[in-house]
Chains A and B, each alone.
Chain A
Amino acid sequence: MAGTTRPRRGHDLLPHTADVGLGVDAADLPGLFEEAASALTDLLADVAPHVEASTWKAITLEAHDLPGLAYAWLNELIALGDIHHGAVVTAMVERLDGPAQDDADGSWHLVGRAGIRAYGDPGVRALRQAKSATYHGLLVERRGDGWTMRAYLDV
């Protein structure tokens, strides 16, 4: 990619009076969703470097548009963390595709995996509980040469 300007991959938190938002950037859609998972983990937990997952869960999602897929992705990760009392320390998007150009009623699909490590294990401390990601202000859109996501969570 030498010579190509790419938005850096990263995330930060957006202010909200009662809740909190995530702002995420990446060069491509799978990277954007993985970065959003990283943002979520940073919001919810203190995870030391090199902590590895002890439980892996397969994820298969479908939604009728990209924001819907982001809503489903973030909420899947929140639910897995809640059920397993842990932090999602690794999230991988193995496949993310949308409908064909001539298929107006088609869906977006995501296949991936989430690796979880229980709170209380060495290097993993809980910070906050997220109740859910919301549709409020949710956007996933192309920005220049990359992609951006904004999502607000009820915490």
Chain B
Amino acid sequence: MTKRIRTLERDHDRAVGRPAVRHPVPGDPPRLERIDEVRWRIPRDQRPDMRVDGLVFADDDLMSNLRGDPALVQVANVATLPGIVGASLAMPDVHWGYGFPIGGVAAVRRDGGVISPGGIGFDINCGVRLIRSDLTHVDLAKHLDRLADALFAAVPSGVGASIGHRLSRAELDGVLRNGARWAVGAGRGWPEDLDRTEEGGNLEGADPDEVSVRAHQRGADQLGTLGSGNHFLELDEVDRIYDPVAAAALGLFEAQVVIFIHCGSRGLGHQVCTDHVAVMDRAMGRYGIEVPDRQLACAPLDSPEGRAYLAAMAAAANFAWANRQSIGDAVRGAFERVLGRGARGLGLDLVYDVSHNIAKFETHRVDGRDVEVCVHRKGATRAFPAGHPDLPAVYREVGQPVFVPGDMGRCSFVAVGAEGSMTESFGSTCHGAGRNMSRHAALRELRGVDVAADLAARGVIVRAERHDLLAEEASIAYKDVTAVVDVAERAGQLRRVARLRPLVVVKG
């Protein structure tokens, strides 16, 4: 094999010997005002196009990594969107994205506001599903290698992952309309799974006719596949309980083995976003909208372009829920085959399934009034507190389960939504650790390091399509998730319930 790339990471302009290309994120680094230990304001008065302030949740350490990062300019850019209310928000895991920062939240008025597909992202309804078990690490210790093999075999992963056949157009349209309900109807999982899935795994308003032929083509053989990049399937051990009452409500206990699934809407969702960003890029002029970054392309919520995107986004979100439901079913099957016992007997119940790339119409308090807004969450998790009417009955007393995956080598967190999320962040919180290093910088830093062997030495079994690329997802590439969750908790967005330690990691 040859690698034709001349360099993996260097300054492009220096490499070609010419004047510097202007910074990819237009605008000067914004001025920050400290509010308290975990809050920073980006005042709107520093740019004439900002309609609201920016609000960044970070402590000193997280902010020290953010200063000079394009993500802060992106927070200010999002503040220019027509109809935005409250503030342009940056969760504690915020980092440089495209258009929106990753970890960005923006709520816009239903009346007069816009929808920006880039504010949801290309992986529509990328999210996390957590399945519990009745098993402990001790119970499973001698089975972990076989389980890793079985999971790797049962869930197609990696670039070009396919289920080996293409769904018919009618089948795929059923998925797009009904989401996880389609999967359960097809025998992939249990009816009660739907009660423990955000939106019941079926976002209203989906219209398969707003999903292009190209998107259908990309998704037809990808339902039930993990994909690649930062998507993963993990077995984790609950190594610490912070809130015994909430943990009991979620079915969690110390030393327990649980299963994490992180993936989204695969090529179908990617194509939906690609298509509609282009449509809105062309339409903005007609609506007199100007944005500082074309990836913020948007259209009024009640415009034909806005309605078409929302219908297509809902369809892609439903694909993602059906995808995670299908993978969850494959996981249960793998456990059954390895352990020789039924999934119900093993207690493989779904704890919850949350989205972190989506736009939702929700009611929030704005300027002292309850207002329906469209909340864009780009790398941010809904975090409704106890008592919220949209929560399933089983969690109404403790709050919505929130999952914050860390990295392959450290830990992850299970939390529940808290009141502060409703007062400041439109019911949202962080979605992960957040990257702090580019993929190529990570490869360079870990050149010659066998990441899988390093993880194995720490008791983590890895199965991956490309071991040579594991460095891109190594711990060094991510912020410390404990610090991120600490800020989210101090800001009142969530309450920690349990900490998880990885045992088996399956990567695409």
Contacts and interface: CB of A to CB of B under 8 A. Distances in A.
Q: Do A and B bind each other?
A: yes
Contact of B6 (A7, A10, A139): A10
A135 to B, nearest CB: 4
A132 B1 contact: no
A129 B466 CA distance: 12
Interface string A9-46: 01111111111110101000000000000110011101
A113 interface: no
A17 B95 contact: yes
A126 B1 CA distance: 12
A12 B438 contact: no
B59 interface: no
A8 to B, nearest CB: 8
Nearest to A134: B98
Given A7-B16, A131-B122, A38 B4 contact: yes
B267 A136 contact: no
Contact of A139 (B21, B123, B466): B21
A15 B440 contact: yes
Interface in A57-79: 63-64, 67-68, 71-72, 75, 78-79
B421 interface: no
Nearest to B275: A75
Contact of A18 (B15, B24, B95): B95
A129 B271 CA distance: 13
B453 interface: no
Interface in A99-150: 119, 123, 125-129, 131-139, 143-144, 148, 150
A123 B138 CA distance: 44
Contacts of B271: 79, 132
Nearest to A84: B160
A127 B448 CA distance: 18
Nearest to A83: B217
A12 B435 contact: no
Contacts of A125: 1
A79 B267 contact: yes
Contacts of A138: 294
Interface stretch (B202-210, B277-285, B360-368): B277-285
A16 B267 CA distance: 22
Contacts of A139: 21
B270 interface: yes
B436 interface: yes
Nearest to B5: A42
A95 interface: no
Interface in B84-127: 95-99, 102, 118, 121-123
Given A67-B294, A82-B218, A143-B18, A13 B7 contact: yes
Interface of A: 7-8, 10-21, 23, 25, 38-39, 42-44, 46-49, 63-64, 67-68, 71-72, 75, 78-79, 82-83, 85-86, 119, 123, 125-129, 131-139, 143-144, 148, 150, 152, 154-155
27 contacts: A8-B16, A12-B6, A12-B12, A12-B15, A23-B21, A38-B4, A39-B5, A47-B1, A49-B2, A71-B278, A82-B160, A82-B218, A119-B159, A123-B1, A127-B159, A131-B123, A132-B273, A134-B98, A134-B118, A134-B277, A135-B281, A135-B294, A136-B118, A137-B25, A143-B18, A152-B98, A155-B229
Given A18-B438, A128-B229, A131-B273, 20 more contacts: A13-B7, A15-B9, A17-B438, A38-B4, A48-B1, A49-B2, A79-B271, A83-B218, A119-B160, A127-B159, A134-B98, A134-B99, A134-B118, A134-B122, A135-B98, A135-B118, A135-B295, A137-B293, A150-B21, A154-B122
